[in-house]
Structure 1
Amino acid sequence: MPALAQELEVARRIARQAGDILLQVYATDFSVTDKAGGAGPVTLADERANAFIVDELRKAFPADGVVAEENEDASDARRFSRCWFVDPLDGTQEFVNRNGEFAIHIGLAVEGRAALGVVYRAVGDVLYSGIVGEQGFVEDPQGRRALRVSDVADPAQLRLVVSRSHRSKTTDAVVQRLGITKETESGSVGLKCGLLAEARCDLYVHVSDKSYRWDNCAPEAVIRSAGGVLTDLAGNAYLYDGSELQNRRGLLACNAAAFDKVLPVASQVAREAGLLK
């Protein structure tokens, strides 16, 4: 049995149970409020799922730290060598728009590196899970399948997955310079990375500082368990040690075959946008 197998099973259970909480609110005429400082919308679903996941993780792993989007205190990432990163509802705008493209992220970082991840889409019952260094899997009503990124190496042949709610001119610049013609829209970061892990898409580029470690800890573990790569736009691995929570240098998720060709283009666009110095 691989290391972290027990942690993965617990995270999968918690994600599914939290999914039920989201769907309960999703079925009602819920209200939406804006977070302070223009940080985006929040609903009762975010708050209820957040409280449930954090409580369950603390009960199951009392020696671990927990950092969650709807918790103000993120100091656990600095104080614990093992820390869970939780986004109880990644894609709140998709939740509000009722298009189903939202997900729960539960990721575990060990010594500051993403080690394990679960991404659960409650609508449609799709669960991605993986341990870095082990084979990742996706489960849905059709069954359980191994995850493996594509081997498309030609940048012009890459299938790009883009944000449904946050399309930007910087993304257009990457598309134009790489010669990309195939695009898919999706909501949650985790679901975008899931599409890469299933080889249904090949590339995701987020040329913005508007994301946080809880957005990408679980997706990184999933995509790496499928043989893919997730870094910042300079090609550096993100650390989950509490030194920084905001992803100030954007995100680049890609299959391994095309990464070295995509990175210089994405980095140049990020420099032009002021994300990289």
Structure 2
Amino acid sequence: MPEANTNSLQEDLELLVTAALQGGKIALSYFGNSPKNWTKEGDSPVSVADIEVDQFLASKLREARPNYGWLSEETEDDLARKDHETVFIVDPIDGTRAFLNGRDEWCLSLAVVKNGRPTVGVIYCPVRDELYTAVSGGGSYLNQEKISVSARPSVTGSYIAGPVSFLEKEGVKSEQIRFSPYLGSLAYRFALVACGKLDAGLARARARDWDLAAADLIISEAGGQLVDLSGSTLYYNKTRTNHPGLVASSAKLFKRLQGISVED
């Protein structure tokens, strides 16, 4: 049986922040230098930078917390993580396509999840020098300044990021919704909701645990929510790691958006 978790949330946060900053340096050493890359299952790109950052994070985090399980986009999932009540859920580079195309919104997404829900979350965008952090019950921060979600109560005039297909939905244009330019990282899209730069963020079905776990906590601690289209809470470290269509926003704005579903 895995040993009991005796680490505090603050200790776990400090560990994730250190790992994210160091991992970001590794990724930056490849950024803009045409790193070797290839296409993996699902027609998704991966690069040597993703793999090196993943290996670094796995070594640093698992050595520090050998009693935690491990789930990462770039590590083969053997389901041994399900034997642990506490797991690391990591995306070494969220937004690899953006990374390879020289865009600046890619990030590292790291979370500690206990009994299916995140307790610590870190999203680090190295090029923009933005570090988003949260622990359960402790609020959310961007570069150590407290953040909160937008207080906009109405869909009309709201600033939203999500699938282009959303623009084509009946009623969207009549609400005069402003649509954000494309963001190549889903975790970063949701981080912008947490700090109020976006009123809401939408995601198609099939987002995975590593895209969401850190952002989920950061949004929640900023006073918002990341939920499915029925308003249900998300749970992580299950056998299946994919999720349905999602909305990140304040609870009040979610009720206004709920009738405009995100297509698969």
Change (3 A) 1:254 1:76: farther
Find the aligned partners of 1:27 and 1:95 in 2 and give their Cα distance: 8
| Offset at residue 264 of structure 1 (A) | 3.2
- Do structure 1's residue 149 and structure 2's residue 149 form an aligned pair? yes
Match of 1:256 in 2: 251
Change (3 A) 1:127 1:150: same
| Offset at residue 180 of structure 1 (A) | 4.0
Change (3 A) 1:29 1:178: same
The alignment partner of 2:127 has SS state of: coil
Find the aligned partners of 1:80 and 1:190 in 2 and give their Cα distance: 24
Gaps (5+ residues) in structure 1?
none
Query: CA-to-partner distance for each residue in 1:85-139, whole Å, 9 max, x for gaps?
Result: 0000000010011011100000111101122110000102110000132211111
- Do structure 1's residue 8 and structure 2's residue 13 form an aligned pair? yes
Gaps (5+ residues) in structure 2?
1-6
Change (3 A) 1:66 1:180: farther
Contact 1:120 1:127 in 2 (8 A): yes
- Give the TM-score normalised by the residue count of structure 1: 0.87
- Do structure 1's residue 88 and structure 2's residue 92 form an aligned pair? yes
Higher helix share: 1
- Do structure 1's residue 189 and structure 2's residue 186 form an aligned pair? yes
Find the aligned partners of 1:222 and 1:199 in 2 and give their Cα distance: 12
State how 1:50-199 maps to structure 2 within 5 Å: 50-139=54-143, 144-162=144-162, 167-170=163-166, 172-173=168-169, 176=172, 179-185=175-181, 186-199=183-196
Find the aligned partners of 1:243 and 1:28 in 2 and give their Cα distance: 37
Find the aligned partners of 2:231 and 2:54 in 1 and give their Cα distance: 31
Find the aligned partners of 2:180 and 2:173 in 1 and give their Cα distance: 18
Match of 2:205 in 1: 208
Find the aligned partners of 1:161 and 1:242 in 2 and give their Cα distance: 27
Identity of aligned residues (%): 26
| Offset at residue 177 of structure 1 (A) | 6.8
The RMSD of aligned alpha carbons is 1.9
- Do structure 1's residue 24 and structure 2's residue 24 form an aligned pair? no
| Offset at residue 58 of structure 1 (A) | 0.5
Q: How many residues in Structure 1 have an aligned counterpart in Structure 2?
A: 257
Match of 1:35 in 2: 40
| Offset at residue 42 of structure 1 (A) | 0.4
